[in-house]
């Protein structure tokens, strides 16, 4: 029973991490129509940049700040690349371009930083003070911060979308692009703003990932990106709440498989589950908004 609870809590934390990435992803798909496969890779790249800063200067705080800034910078600069594709609403092309970008980033990480070895970041918050322990179950402060951070960010985005004018513009564009254009909603500004917000989310994700995971490998980008994309389809493209719930479902499922089956299979099973759902219910479990 203890093992089960430990795995469940672990799964919730993993789910929180996925939820952050899926949020930014969903927002971009909803508003700009761009499927930004390289989103997760940019988060991982930011983690690497933090590592480089820590190696060079030695300050964790500066490293975290560098990760935050780098993520925002990179995401906003990719907006420029996607502009001609956004104009055409070319979904396939944007996916292919972002996959190409993702492979470029993965290649850079595999060859030029730390010779492709996984990096580990100083985990000041991971163990030690203020852990909660009962028997086998232990939650570190970092995990709690990650979970709370994820929930806060998601709530902020949802409040933004329902209460602010820019958020209403987003929803209008997501519902019907042509009509939104007709009533005079500035599409280009909405595109740029949503990229900026996604960049912010990426920055927060990078910081929380550094704090909770404590390490990164070149493959992490692909791993996160595929799972985020799969969660997107699993929950229904563009469905913000659905994406949130589905992230937690996947996190718990993954944690359970990791605990009860030999480790190598957990990824394959997660993907298998998702592939089956995609084929059986292509609108996703909760229905699409796009």
Rule CB under 8 A: say whether 115 interacts with other proteins: no
Q: What residues from 231 to 260 belong to the interface with other proteins (CB under 8 A)?
A: 233, 237
Closest contact distance (angstroms) between CB of 168 and other proteins is 26
Region binding other proteins by CB under 8 A among candidate stretches 67-75, 160-168, 177-185, 274-282 = 274-282
**Cβ closest to other proteins, residue 194 vs residue 237:** 237
**Distance, CA of 20 to CA of 106 (rounded, Å):** 21
**Cβ closest to other proteins, residue 134 vs residue 283:** 283
Q: What residues from 188 to 227 belong to the interface with other proteins (CB under 8 A)?
A: 222, 226
**Cβ closest to other proteins, residue 151 vs residue 269:** 269
Closest contact distance (angstroms) between CB of 111 and other proteins is 6
Cβ neighbours for 248, distance < 8 A, ≥ 6 positions apart? 11, 12, 15, 16, 18, 19
Selected from 87, 152, 268, 287, the binder of other proteins by CB under 8 A is 268
DSSP sequence for the chain = -HHHHHHHHHHHHHHHHHHHHHHHHHHHHHHH----TTHHHHHHHHHHHHHHHHHHH--HHHHHHHHHHHHHHHHHHHHHHHHHHHHHT-HHHHHHHHHHHHHHHHHHHHHHSGGG--EE---TTTSSTT-EEETTEEE-HHHHHHHHHHHHHHHHHHHHHHHSHHHHHHHHHHH-HHHHHHTT--HHHHHHHHHHHHHHHHHHHHHHHHHHH-EE-HHHHHHHHHHHHHHHHHH-TT-HHHHHHHHHHHHHHHHHHHHHS-THHHHHHHHHHHHHHHHH-TT-SS----
Rule CB under 8 A: say whether 8 interacts with other proteins: no
Region binding other proteins by CB under 8 A among candidate stretches 15-23, 105-113, 135-143, 190-198 = 105-113
Rule CB under 8 A: say whether 92 interacts with other proteins: yes
**Cβ closest to other proteins, residue 59 vs residue 283:** 283
Rule CB under 8 A: say whether 228 interacts with other proteins: no
Rule CB under 8 A: say whether 271 interacts with other proteins: yes
Region binding other proteins by CB under 8 A among candidate stretches 13-21, 78-86, 119-127, 179-187 = 78-86
> Which residues would be at the binding site for other proteins (CB under 8 A)?
35, 81, 84-85, 90-93, 95-97, 99-101, 103-104, 106-108, 111, 222, 226, 229-230, 233, 237, 264-265, 267-268, 271-272, 274-275, 278-280, 282
């Amino acid at each position: 029973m203890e093992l089960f609870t430990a795995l469940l809590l672990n799964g919730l934390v993993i789910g929180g991490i996925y939820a952050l990435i899926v949020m930014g992803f969903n927002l971009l798909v909803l508003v700009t129509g761009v499927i930004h496969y390289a989103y997760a890779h940019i988060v991982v790249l930011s983690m690497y940049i933090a590592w480089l800063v820590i190696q060079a200067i030695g300050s964790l705080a500066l490293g975290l700040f560098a990760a935050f800034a780098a993520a925002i910078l990179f995401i906003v600069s990719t907006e420029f690349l996607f502009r001609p594709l956004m104009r055409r609403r070319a979904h396939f092309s944007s996916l292919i371009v972002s996959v190409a970008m993702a492979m470029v980033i993965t290649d850079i990480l595999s060859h030029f930083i730390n010779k492709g070895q996984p990096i580990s970041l100083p985990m000041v918050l991971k163990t030690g003070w203020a852990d909660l322990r009962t028997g086998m179950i232990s939650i570190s402060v970092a995990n709690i911060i990650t979970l709370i951070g994820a929930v806060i960010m998601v709530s902020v985005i949802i409040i933004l979308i329902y209460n602010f004018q820019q958020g209403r513009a987003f929803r209008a564009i997501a519902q019907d692009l042509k009509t939104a254009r007709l009533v005079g909603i500035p599409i280009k500004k909405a595109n740029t703003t949503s990229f900026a917000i996604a960049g912010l989310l990426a920055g927060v994700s990078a910081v929380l990932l550094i704090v909770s995971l404590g390490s990164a490998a070149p493959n992490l980008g692909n791993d996160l990106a595929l799972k985020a994309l799969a969660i997107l389809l699993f929950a229904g493209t563009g469905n913000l709440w659905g994406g949130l719930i589905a992230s937690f479902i996947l996190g718990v499922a993954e944690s359970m498989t990791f605990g009860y089956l030999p480790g190598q299979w957990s990824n394959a099973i997660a993907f298998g589950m998702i592939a089956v759902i995609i084929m059986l219910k292509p609108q996703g479990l909760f229905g699409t908004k796009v």
